[in-house]
């Protein structure tokens, strides 16, 4: 079996301005395939190598593959579909496979708009892909495709063409059993600009016990599972010694949720002398930082240098349950604690809901100045169609050009301003914030790693600013306030939601409405997220709670339970 995996060539000027990032999914899937005996795997990173369709044609003309698998998040979906279309043209016998978050939830849409996709893998890929490849390898494809869990495909039936989703596959229960094949990546390509070193994206846990209404991550990973911290440290050691990695971020949604394991992880890194060789970053929640105040020096000692906090989204989302007074103070305190521990802290603001005004945007700037994070990030609210908040806001969503669903393009037009003005005001916040930081903060941020790191971040920002890649400013034609009326986001307004997808959502919404009385809305904690951060988790006894689904040990399915709960809470992190 010859298998090709492709990361499509999609770019949008957000997080990627910090460097070239390795596609972790390819290492995880290759590892699983090789463990199962499928060793003939080739990976093409069309994103990092900026490969054109012609370049991909050359690859497909030079080698023959039995299966080609492509990944897609929502904004890269059209590029991913296009790669598989090329495969269908050049190698019509290859089985075309699509995986990742977008296709997992939007399989009706994808299979309607891209009929050349043979099969979609829904959810975590490791076990499902191996089962799929085995089915193909043993000549049981497509005859036995109905019996492989976690797939979606189109087929002809007596009533005409229809889309089939097989039974959901269970989540990967033993994450430690997955051995990612990091060797599949071309490591010299992956550089983190702030530290000018190689970067990796390992993960310690999958899933999130919260159920924020605008986030799709908890739905995707379903139950929360965490690895043995020693094994994660082993992996970091390999990444450092074998691949010369000098910086990593944990891909985890909430790495600090299980404090006991997070501390064990930090202690392992320290015991192995790794902090002298590798620094790292995480996304996490304000409440965890407040809870862990006493441990922040330990975290820093273990090499944690960058924490990105979901600070302000909830206020923007204006959910009734949100207690803003507490949160504002908590945010400020968490930021101070991190700074005092020598950790670079980044505040995330979500802007661009329909009720955004000049004043609310100004308020976020004032908050950023008051809280004094080292870095601030204003992301455009992006209505992932598979989130519960989308269901509530759907009458405000006019744009279904998913390529622009990327945190840097205003998808929703606020009632008080047009999209060009929104972008301009966001840029104004960035300009003022970083101008002050560049002049009065970073150069004086001591003499150690923190200062070096911050100056490195500034370099990445300046580079993206000059190249006009930041926020896709070049693509949309923004050259400063004088151009705000001329900005063109090039939305493809011919893109719509397929009828099959609409029907699917309506059925899901109906199910969730029916389930609501049984599952009252949780209250909201200070930094976002609900209150389901259960004692069991902190005590390292992750079990099936039923409240947010569970680990499946009892046979229940978190996704189903959670969707049925249909509840909303708030908070955000990228
Ligand atoms: C690291 C990361 C990045 C890196 C990208 C690294 C890379 N080259 O892939 C950087 C910083 C560059 C980045 C940028 C962006 N990101 Co990002 N990123 C993440 C993050 C934190 C981790 C991703 C990861 O590696 N996960 C671990 C791997 C193992 O999981 P996975 O990719 O989902 O793969 C599994 C399954 O999906 C499945 N699978 C995936 N692909 C395939 C393919 C096949 C064939 C099969 C069978 C299975 C399969 O199997 C895998 C193993 O189980 C996630 C949030 C998160 N915690 O997951 C956000 C996330 C993926 N990013 C997101 C977004 C929106 C972006 C940006 C658009 C934002 C921006 N403008 O900057 C850009 C787009 C960049 C681009 N050009 O594509 C969103 C996507 C949401 C959505 N619904 O689509 C996420 C989920 C964050 C969020 N809060 O919502 N990102
Ligand atoms: S935004 Fe909310 S649900 Fe999503 S990963 Fe973060 S805390 Fe979890």
Phi first, then psi, for residue 453 (nearest 5°) are -65, -45
Q: How far is CA 117 from CA 49, 86, 524, in A?
A: 24, 11, 41
- The residue-averaged pLDDT of 130-150 equals 98
- Distance from the CA of 253 to the center of ligand 2, in angstroms? 7
Give the span between the Cα atoms of 100 and 72, in whole angstroms. Answer: 5
- Distance from the CA of 251 to the center of ligand 2, in angstroms? 13
Determine what percent of the chain falls in helix, strand and coil, rounding each to the nearest 5. 45, 15, 40
- Distance from the CA of 53 to the center of ligand 2, in angstroms? 35
* Burial of 398 (C-beta count, 10 Å sphere; 0-12/13-18/19+): exposed
User: Is 216 a pocket residue for ligand 1 (Cβ < 6 Å)?
Assistant: yes
Pocket test for ligand 1, best of 18, 75, 135 (most atoms within 8 A of CB): 75
How many helices (H) and strands (E) are present in the chain, helices listed first?
A: 21, 16
Q: Higher-confidence residue: 515 or 7?
A: 7
Q: What is the pLDDT of residue 83?
A: 98
Give the span between the Cα atoms of 17 and 192, in whole angstroms. Answer: 9
Pick the closest to residue 300 from 265, 277, 283, 275 (CA basis): 275
Place of tokens 């050359």: 58
Q: Please determine, for residue 520, whether its predicted confidence score (pLDDT) is greater than 80.
A: no
- The residue-averaged pLDDT of 76-86 equals 98
- Distance from the CA of 320 to the center of ligand 2, in angstroms? 18
Evaluated on CA atoms 71, 76, 82, 83, the torsion sign reads negative
User: Is 204 a pocket residue for ligand 1 (Cβ < 6 Å)?
Assistant: no
Note the ligand closest to the C-alpha atom of 567.
2
Pick the closest to residue 129 from 98, 154, 88 (CA basis): 98
Contact at 8 Å (CB) between 564 and 507? no
Is the bond preceding 173 in cis, omega lying within 30 degrees of 0?
no
What are the beta bridge partners of residue 164? 153
Atom 7 (ligand 1) nearest CA: 23
User: Is 217 a pocket residue for ligand 1 (Cβ < 6 Å)?
Assistant: yes
User: Is 572 a pocket residue for ligand 2 (Cβ < 6 Å)?
Assistant: yes
Q: Please determine, for residue 535, whether its predicted confidence score (pLDDT) is greater than 50.
A: no
Atom 1 (ligand 2) nearest CA: 572
- The residue-averaged pLDDT of 502-525 equals 56
DSSP assignment letter at 295: G
> Across all residues in the chain, what is the average pLDDT?
87
User: Is 218 a pocket residue for ligand 2 (Cβ < 6 Å)?
Assistant: yes
Note the ligand closest to the C-alpha atom of 19.
1
The HSE-up count of residue 289 (CA atoms within 13 Å, CB side) is 32
- Distance from the CA of 118 to the center of ligand 1, in angstroms? 22
Q: What is the pLDDT of residue 387?
A: 87
Note the ligand closest to the C-alpha atom of 213.
2
CATH of domain 3-165: 3.40.50.2300
Evaluated on CA atoms 537, 541, 542, 545, the torsion sign reads negative
* Burial of 507 (C-beta count, 10 Å sphere; 0-12/13-18/19+): exposed
Phi first, then psi, for residue 555 (nearest 5°) are 95, -5
User: Is 217 a pocket residue for ligand 2 (Cβ < 6 Å)?
Assistant: yes
Give the span between the Cα atoms of 72 and 253, in whole angstroms. Answer: 18
- The residue-averaged pLDDT of 508-529 equals 46
Q: How far is CA 214 from CA 63, 217, 284, in A?
A: 42, 9, 16
User: Is 11 a pocket residue for ligand 1 (Cβ < 6 Å)?
Assistant: yes
pLDDT digits (tens, 9 = 90+) for 156-189: 999 888 999 999 999 999 999 999 999 999 999 9
Q: What is the pLDDT of residue 311?
A: 66
pLDDT digits (tens, 9 = 90+) for 314-342: 444 544 333 334 467 888 999 999 999 99
Atom 5 (ligand 2) nearest CA: 253
């Amino acid at each position: 079996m010859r298998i090709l995996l492709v990361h499509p060539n999609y770019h949008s000027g957000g997080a990627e301005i910090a460097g070239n990032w390795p596609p972790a999914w390819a290492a995880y899937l290759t590892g699983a395939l090789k463990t199962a005996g499928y060793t003939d795997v080739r990976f093409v990173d069309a994103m990092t190598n900026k490969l054109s369709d012609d370049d991909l044609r050359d690859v497909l003309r030079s080698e023959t593959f039995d299966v080609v698998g492509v990944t897609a998040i929502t904004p890269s979906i059209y590029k991913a579909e296009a790669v598989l279309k090329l495969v269908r043209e050049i190698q019509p016998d290859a089985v075309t496979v699509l995986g990742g978050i977008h296709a997992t939830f939007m399989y009706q849409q994808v299979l309607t708009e891209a009929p050349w996709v043979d099969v979609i893998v829904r959810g975590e890929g490791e076990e499902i892909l191996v089962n799929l490849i085995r089915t193909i390898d043993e000549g049981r494809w497509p005859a036995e495709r109905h019996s492989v869990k976690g797939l979606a495909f189109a087929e002809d039936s007596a009533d005409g063409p229809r889309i089939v989703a097989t039974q959901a596959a269970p989540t990967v229960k033993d994450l430690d059993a997955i051995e990612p094949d990091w060797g599949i990546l071309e490591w010299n390509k992956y550089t983190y600009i702030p530290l000018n070193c190689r970067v990796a994206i390992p993960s310690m846990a999958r899933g999130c016990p919260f159920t924020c209404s605008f986030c799709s991550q908890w739905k995707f990973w379903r139950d929360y599972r965490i690895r043995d911290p020693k094994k994660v440290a082993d992996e970091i050691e390999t990444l450092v010694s074998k691949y010369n990695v000098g910086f990593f971020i944990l891909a985890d949604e909430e790495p600090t949720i299980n404090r006991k394991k997070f501390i064990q992880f930090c202690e392992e890194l320290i015991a192995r002398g790794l902090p002298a060789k590798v620094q790292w970053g995480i996304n996490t929640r304000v409440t965890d930082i407040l809870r862990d105040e006493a441990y922040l020096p330990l975290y820093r000692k273990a090499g944690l240098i960058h924490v990105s906090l979901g600070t302000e989204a909830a206020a923007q989302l204006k959910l009734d349950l949100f207690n803003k007074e507490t949160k504002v103070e908590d945010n400020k305190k968490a930021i101070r604690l991190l700074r005092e521990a020598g950790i670079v802290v980044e505040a995330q603001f979500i802007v661009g809901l329909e009720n955004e005004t000049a004043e609310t945007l100004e308020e976020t700037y004032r908050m950023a100045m008051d809280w004094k994070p080292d870095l601030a990030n204003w992301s455009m609210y992006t209505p992932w169609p598979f989130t519960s908040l989308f269901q509530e806001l759907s009458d405000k969503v006019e744009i279904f050009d998913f390529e622009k669903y990327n945190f840097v393009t205003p998808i929703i037009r606020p009632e008080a301003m047009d999209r060009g003005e929104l972008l301009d005001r966001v840029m104004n916040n960035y300009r003022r914030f970083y101008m002050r930081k560049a002049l009065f903060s970073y150069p004086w941020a001591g003499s150690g790693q923190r200062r070096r790191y911050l100056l490195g971040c500034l370099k990445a920002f300046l580079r993206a600013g000059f190249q006009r890649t930041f926020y896709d400013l070049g693509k949309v034609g923004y050259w400063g306030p004088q151009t705000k009326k001329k900005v063109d986001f090039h939305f493809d307004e011919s893109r719509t939601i397929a009828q099959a997808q609409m029907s699917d959502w309506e059925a899901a919404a109906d199910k969730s409405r029916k389930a609501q009385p049984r599952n009252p809305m949780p209250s909201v904690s200070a930094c976002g997220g609900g209150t389901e951060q259960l004692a069991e988790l902190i005590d390292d006894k992750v079990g099936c709670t039923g409240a947010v689904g569970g680990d499946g040990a009892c046979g229940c399915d978190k996704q189903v339970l959670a969707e049925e709960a249909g509840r909303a809470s708030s908070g955000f992190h990228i």
